[in-house]
Amino acid sequence: MSYPHQRITIKATDGFELSAMIYPAHNQTDSKKYLIIGSAFGVPQQYYKHITNYFAEQGISCLTFDYRGIGESKTGLMPAQEMLMQHWGQLDLEGVIQYVERNYRPEQLYYLGHSAGGQILGLAPSCDKFYRVILAATGVGAWRAWLGAQKYLLAAMWYGLMPLMMLLQRGDFFHSKMLGPIPVPKHAVKQWVEWAKSEDYLFTAKHGLDLTGYKNIKAEIYALTISDDWYAPQSSRDALLAHYSNSHRETQYILPQDVGLKKIGHFGLFRKKQEIVNGIWQPMINFLNQ
C-alpha cells in the first residue's frame, strides 16, 4: 500500500547522504506541525508508512529516514566498518532536525522514537527543539535494568549468543531477523552490545559520549510500553526515562487484550489494524494535540 509522500535526500552533519521521505499533512496549507520518526534497530523507514499517513490525515506532516548503513542509506561517505550506533543520533538525527527546522520552520516539532530511536534522541545536539516526544516500545538494553529470569536471558544474549553470531558472520554487515528485518553495520552492533553489557547502557561514563542533550530536553514525553514486548519491559523503559530528567514524563502500559488483540509485541504497534489505530495511535494523537 502506497501513501502520498515525497522522497528526499538529507545530509547528516558530516555530509553523509540519508534517504528520507516526507508525508505531507493532508491540510498542509494550514499545518505547521511536523513529526520526525526515529526508527528501531535494523528497521527500514517504510515500516512506519501506515502511522505516518495516519498522522498526516490528522494534520501532522511526518518525516522518516534511514540511518547510515540501514536500508536506502546503506552506503555513503563513511565506510561501513566505521559506522557506529552513536552516529545515528549525533550525526544523522541531528542532520534531519536541522533540515526540518531550516526548510519548514515548524511551529511545533514532534518526535516519535521507536526502540533504538528513543535511546539515541539525546545524542543529537538539537534534541531540545522538540515540543512533544513519543517514546514507543523503548528502554535501555542493559541487562541489569531487567527483572527476574529475563535479566539472565538477556545477559546470556549479550555475553554468549551475540558474540558467537558476530564471529560466524563475515563482511561489514550483521544479518539477524532477531534484531530487525534488514542488515545492520557490524560495528554498530558491536557498540550496541558493549553498551548493553555496561552498568548503565550508553550512559556509562567509560563510553565517553556527550550526554548533555538528555537533560536539555524539556519536552512533554509520552512513553508507551506493550506488555508482551520482550525487548522493552517497563523496568528498562523507566531506566531510560530517568535520563530525560528535565522533561515531564507520562507513561502507559498496554496489554494486547486492552485493544482487542491476542498479541502486539515489539513491532506490532505500527502494523495497520483497526484495534491498533483506535487503541494506540489515537492516544498518540491526543497527546500531541494536548
- pLDDT at residue number 186: 95
Tell me the mean pLDDT in the region 5-29.
93
Residue 128 lies in a domain: yes
How would residue 180 be classed by pLDDT, with cut points 50, 70 and 90?
A: confident
Q: Is the pLDDT of residue 77 over 90?
A: yes
| DSSP strand pairing (61-65 vs 17-23) | antiparallel
What number is the average pLDDT over the span 187-209? 96
Measured between alpha carbons, how far is 279 from 269 in angstroms, rounded to an integer? 10
List, for residues 130-171, the tens digit of each pLDDT value.
999 999 999 999 999 989 998 999 999 999 998 898 888 889
pLDDT attached to residue 170: 87
What total number of domains does the chain contain? 1
- Residue 182 in any domain: the answer is no
Does residue 158 contact residue 193 with C-beta atoms inside 8 Å?
A: yes
| Strand ranges inside 204-272, DSSP E | 220-226, 248-254
In this prediction, residues 198-215 reach a mean pLDDT of 97
Domain contains 148:
no
Query: Which residues in 84-101 are b (16+ Cβ under 10 Å) and which e?
Result: bbbbbbbbbbbbbbbbbe
- Which has more pLDDT, 149 or 176? 149
The three grid cell numbers given for residue 49, joined into one nine-digit string: 508508512
| Confidence band, pLDDT 50/70/90 cuts, at residue 31 | low
CATH number at residue 83: 3.40.50.1820
Whether 88 is covered by a domain: the verdict is yes
Q: What is the rounded average pLDDT of the residues 249-268?
A: 96
Statement: residue 29 has pLDDT above 70:
no
Answer yes or no: is 225 within a domain: yes
Q: What is the pLDDT of residue 73?
A: 98
Q: Is 12 within a domain?
A: yes
Is 22's pLDDT higher than 90? yes
**Any domain includes 164:** no
Give the mean model confidence (pLDDT) for residues 50-72.
96
The verdict on residue 64 lying in a domain is: yes
Q: Which residues, 6 or more positions from 164, have their beta carbon under 8 angstroms from its beta carbon?
A: none
* Short-list 252, 254, 232, CA closest to 116: 232
